[in-house]
């Protein structure tokens, strides 16, 4: 029989998980060129909600964990192919020619469309994990130090219990349909900005076919929402990155429970604390609780 | 049956684990178990037993002995004379119900009652016995009878050297575990029910020694070995969390909290989460 047994109910384990979940943040910026266009992004996100289930086979399942995109800004830039809006006559000359007309107007150049999707919430549909006890030896600990010297230097060894994730499934970002309209409005605005002021009102009727040219340049075959979803999830592989950082966070970065080894007791007063070594630490779950066992060394 | 069927946090420690913790404390905090006058503490030749201690104890300047005052010799005041002494707890062991580690003496019922623990101690000690030559060499000073002259300062106590006459006693105690508030913090402590010293005669001497040891054990358990509940849970992260309050699980649903059963000490905690 183990010298020490510590158990936490599923509800208590859920509170431990919330502590870990709330400590997670991820932020990144990047840019890349995708042939006819280039794009850049800046993201910052945290996790929220999620339900926990402990299983008798020792697995932990976390479902419907929200990914809250506190910042999600994108910028798509492309070179609008040069073309000319042909001139036309406004007041024709009844005998011949044109009294008042619009000359040919060349349009083209670099266009950038900024999009702010901050506040979106997507979902990690499933995390499957097991508990794992790891022994951490502080790399800054000098070879000749006793456990007490290591503690005084702030570099004690530690037992750490991680939620060792073996499966993380992140759902695609569900870009709302309203973004499609917004994107098209921004494209129109950007192109309008290329036109001379005097001609804007007259030429707006020509912009619809230009927007179609832009969609062709960006390979927007279906909808703008799908294009953005693909850009975020596949082209920039943000979903894959989130899967990796979430798994790494729970598996290696944030122990749900840790303590020094040897564990200090009788710490009050001027004398050195008494250090109790803990060995053979094991952590597991069943459908009712988390159980940690260990021996006194 | 799950450990947390009636609570949210559960901890148990087996008697073998407690005894290992006890040995670590004895080696790392020897001054809790070794007491002597300054002359004895400074001369390891006089110690009844050489205690084991870790190198950190001396490296960090911690004492091996807690220093006691000299034992005054009655009738000697010109000058007052004191004898050196030494008391050492050289072995300590715990046995949680049911009895299977310590053979209790019949006076304590031989077997542990439900929810009780036994404590077995081996205590060695002695008083330094001065040679006659040493006593003869102490000059007699002028005594200061009360009520006559203006009181003068008492002459300093003269410690006299001598060889310690060490002896050892086997002491047994039975106790149960209680939760108690000390300095505003809820702690787990042992409450002594009975003490027995083996083979001391006459009975009156035994009774007096038992009374002294009983008093010492009660105060030692209360002052030095009352464990905050949080320590028992090895710094579990939910302790101290603003949104979670933890309190000992009441009876019912838990019949005993803390409980001593199946060779283990157990504690049960109920959690309340505020929104």
> Where on the phi/psi map is residue B249: left (φ > 0), alpha (ψ -120 to 50), or beta?
beta
Is the full-model pTM beyond 0.80?
yes
Say what the pLDDT of residue B240 is: 80
Computed from CA positions of residues A188, A189, A195, A197, in that sequence, does the dihedral angle turn out positive or negative? positive
Count of other CB atoms within 10 angstroms of residue A99: 10
Say what the pLDDT of residue A195 is: 77
Residues B165-178 have a mean pLDDT of 96
Measured between CA atoms, how close is A296 to chain B, in angstroms? Answer: 6
- Contact (CB<8Å) A4/B13: yes
Confidence grade of residue A94 (pLDDT, cut at 50, 70, 90): confident
Residues of A with Cβ-Cβ distance to B263 under 8 angstroms: 1
- Whole-angstrom distance, CA of residue B41 vs CA of residue A4: 37
Say what the pLDDT of residue A246 is: 95
Cis geometry, peptide bond prior to residue B8 (ω within 30 degrees of 0): no
- Contact (CB<8Å) B237/A16: yes
B114 touches chain A (CB under 8 A): no
Q: What is the 3-state secondary structure (H, E, C) of A141-203?
A: CCCCCCHHHHHHCCCCEEEEEEEEEEEEEECCCCCCCHHHHHHHHHHHHHHHHHCCHHHHHHH
Measured between CA atoms, how close is A18 to chain B, in angstroms? Answer: 11
On the question of pLDDT at B74 being above 70, the answer is yes
Beta strands B34-36 and B66-67 are parallel
Residues B240-244 have a mean pLDDT of 83
- Contact (CB<8Å) B244/A15: yes
Closest CA to A120 of A62, A74, A52: A74
Q: Which residues contact A234 (CB under 8 A, 6 or more apart)?
A: none
pLDDT tens digits, residue range A156-165?
999 999 999 9
B57 touches chain A (CB under 8 A): yes
On the question of pLDDT at B65 being above 90, the answer is yes
Answer for the pair A177, A196: CB distance below 8 angstroms, yes or no.
no
Closest CA to A250 of A242, A240, A239: A242
pLDDT tens digits, residue range A37-49?
899 999 999 999 9
- Whole-angstrom distance, CA of residue B177 vs CA of residue B251: 15
- Whole-angstrom distance, CA of residue A30 vs CA of residue A26: 13
A295 touches chain B (CB under 8 A): yes
Out of A9, A257, A288, whose CB is closest to B237? A257
Say what the pLDDT of residue A86 is: 78
B14 touches chain A (CB under 8 A): yes
Q: What angle do CA B167, B101, B249 make, to 5 degrees?
A: 115
Residues B24-50 have a mean pLDDT of 97
Residues A67-87 have a mean pLDDT of 86
Measured between CA atoms, how close is A47 to chain B, in angstroms? Answer: 18
On the question of pLDDT at A206 being above 80, the answer is no
- Residue A127, CB-side half-sphere exposure with 13 Å CA sphere: 30
Say what the pLDDT of residue B29 is: 97
B31 touches chain A (CB under 8 A): yes
> Where on the phi/psi map is residue B211: left (φ > 0), alpha (ψ -120 to 50), or beta?
alpha
Say what the pLDDT of residue B216 is: 94
On the question of pLDDT at A87 being above 90, the answer is no
Question: Is A115 in a helix, a strand, or coil?
Answer: strand
A153, A270, A274, A297, best to mutate vs chain B, most B CBs in 10 Å: A274
Long-range pairs for A245-249: beta carbons < 8 A, 24 or more residues apart:
A245/A26, A246/A24, A246/A47, A246/A124, A246/A127, A246/A165, A246/A168, A246/A170, A247/A127, A247/A165, A247/A168, A249/A20, A249/A24
Measured between CA atoms, how close is B14 to chain A, in angstroms? Answer: 5
pLDDT tens digits, residue range A237-248?
999 999 999 999
Q: Which two tokens stand for residue B232?
A: 């028992």
Count of other CB atoms within 10 angstroms of residue A92: 12
Answer for the pair A132, A162: CB distance below 8 angstroms, yes or no.
yes
B55 touches chain A (CB under 8 A): yes
Confidence grade of residue B232 (pLDDT, cut at 50, 70, 90): confident
- Contact (CB<8Å) A277/B24: yes
B62 touches chain A (CB under 8 A): yes
Answer for the pair B86, B166: CB distance below 8 angstroms, yes or no.
yes
Measured between CA atoms, how close is A288 to chain B, in angstroms? Answer: 7
Out of B3, B29, B236, whose CB is closest to A289? B3
Closest residue in chain B to residue A10, using alpha carbons only = B8
Computed from CA positions of residues A253, A257, A263, A268, in that sequence, does the dihedral angle turn out positive or negative? positive
Residues B163-182 have a mean pLDDT of 94
Residues B83-109 have a mean pLDDT of 97
Give the position of tokens 């003496």: B105
Question: Is B228 in a helix, a strand, or coil?
Answer: strand
Closest CA to B179 of B125, B241, B234, B258: B258
Say what the pLDDT of residue A95 is: 82
Closest CA to B125 of B198, B203, B35: B35
Answer for the pair A282, A294: CB distance below 8 angstroms, yes or no.
yes
**Range with the poorest average pLDDT among A292-296, B163-167, B227-231:** B227-231
Say what the pLDDT of residue A203 is: 67
Burial tier of A289 (Cβ tally within 10 Å: 0-12, 13-18, 19+): buried
Q: What angle do CA A23, A28, A30 make, to 5 degrees?
A: 170
Residues of B with Cβ-Cβ distance to A263 under 8 angstroms: 234-235
Residues of B with Cβ-Cβ distance to A4 under 8 angstroms: 11-14, 17, 234
Residues of B with Cβ-Cβ distance to A275 under 8 angstroms: 24, 28
On the question of pLDDT at B148 being above 60, the answer is no
Of residues B269 and A36, the one with the higher pLDDT is B269
Confidence grade of residue A181 (pLDDT, cut at 50, 70, 90): confident
A5 touches chain B (CB under 8 A): yes
- Contact (CB<8Å) B2/A19: no
Say what the pLDDT of residue A100 is: 84
Q: Which two tokens stand for residue B34?
A: 């070794």
Say what the pLDDT of residue B185 is: 86
On the question of pLDDT at A253 being above 90, the answer is yes
Confidence grade of residue A213 (pLDDT, cut at 50, 70, 90): confident
- Contact (CB<8Å) A266/B5: no
A265 touches chain B (CB under 8 A): yes
pLDDT tens digits, residue range A137-173?
999 999 999 999 999 999 999 999 999 998 999 998 8
Count of other CB atoms within 10 angstroms of residue B82: 20
Of residues A5 and A96, the one with the higher pLDDT is A5
């Amino acid at each position: 029989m183990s010298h020490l047994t510590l158990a936490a109910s599923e509800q208590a384990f859920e509170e431990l998980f919330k502590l870990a979940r709330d400590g997670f943040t991820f932020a990144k910026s990047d840019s890349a060129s995708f042939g006819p266009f280039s794009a850049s992004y800046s993201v910052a996100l945290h996790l929220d909600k999620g339900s926990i289930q402990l299983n008798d086979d020792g697995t932990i399942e976390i479902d419907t964990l929200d990914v809250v995109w506190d910042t999600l800004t994108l910028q798509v830039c492309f070179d609008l192919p040069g073309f000319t809006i042909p001139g036309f006559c406004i007041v024709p000359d009844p005998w011949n020619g044109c009294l008042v007309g619009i000359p040919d107007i060349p349009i083209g150049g670099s266009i950038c469309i900024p999009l702010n999707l901050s506040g979106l919430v997507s979902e990690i549909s499933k995390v499957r994990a097991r508990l794992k006890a790891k022994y951490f030896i502080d790399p800054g600990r000098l070879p000749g130090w006793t456990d007490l010297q290591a503690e005084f230097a702030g570099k004690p060894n530690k037992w750490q219990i991680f939620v060792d994730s073996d499966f993380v499934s992140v759902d695609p970002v569900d870009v709302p349909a309203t973004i499609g309209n917004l994107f098209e409005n921004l494209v129109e605005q950007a192109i309008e900005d290329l036109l001379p002021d005097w001609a804007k009102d007259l030429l707006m009727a020509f912009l619809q076919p230009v927007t179609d040219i832009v969609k062709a340049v960006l390979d927007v075959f279906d909808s703008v929402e799908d294009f953005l979803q693909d850009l975020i999830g596949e082209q920039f592989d943000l979903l894959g990155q989130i899967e990796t950082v979430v798994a790494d966070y729970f598996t290696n970065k944030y122990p749900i429970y840790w303590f020094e080894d040897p564990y200090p007791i009788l710490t009050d007063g001027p004398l050195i604390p008494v250090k109790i070594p803990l060995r053979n630490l094991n952590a597991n779950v069943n459908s009712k609780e988390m159980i940690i066992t260990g021996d006194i060394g | 049956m799950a450990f947390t069927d009636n609570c949210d946090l559960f901890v148990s420690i087996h008697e073998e684990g407690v005894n290992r913790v006890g040995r670590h404390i004895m080696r790392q905090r020897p001054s809790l178990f070794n007491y002597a006058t300054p002359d004895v503490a400074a001369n390891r030749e006089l110690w009844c037993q050489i205690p084991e201690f870790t190198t950190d104890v001396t490296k960090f300047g911690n004492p091996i002995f807690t220093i006691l005052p000299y034992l005054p010799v009655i009738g000697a005041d010109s000058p007052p004379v004191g004898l050196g002494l030494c008391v050492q707890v050289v072995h300590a062991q715990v046995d949680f119900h049911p009895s299977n580690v310590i053979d209790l003496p019949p006076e304590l019922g031989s077997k542990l009652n439900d929810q009780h623990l036994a404590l077995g101690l081996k205590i060695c000690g002695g008083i330094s016995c001065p040679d006659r030559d040493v006593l003869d060499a102490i000059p007699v000073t002028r005594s200061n009878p009360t009520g006559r002259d203006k009181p003068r300062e008492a002459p300093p106590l003269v410690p006299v050297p001598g060889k310690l006459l060490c002896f050892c006693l086997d002491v047994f105690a039975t106790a149960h575990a209680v939760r108690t508030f000390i300095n505003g913090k809820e702690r787990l402590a042992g409450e002594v029910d009975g003490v027995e010293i083996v083979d001391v005669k006459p009975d009156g001497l035994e009774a007096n020694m038992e009374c002294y040891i009983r008093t010492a054990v009660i105060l030692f358990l209360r002052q030095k070995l009352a464990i905050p509940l949080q320590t028992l849970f090895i710094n579990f992260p939910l302790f101290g969390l603003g949104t979670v309050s933890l309190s000992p699980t009441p009876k019912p649903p838990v019949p005993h909290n803390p409980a001593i059963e199946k060779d283990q000490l157990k504690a049960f905690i109920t959690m309340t989460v505020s929104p």
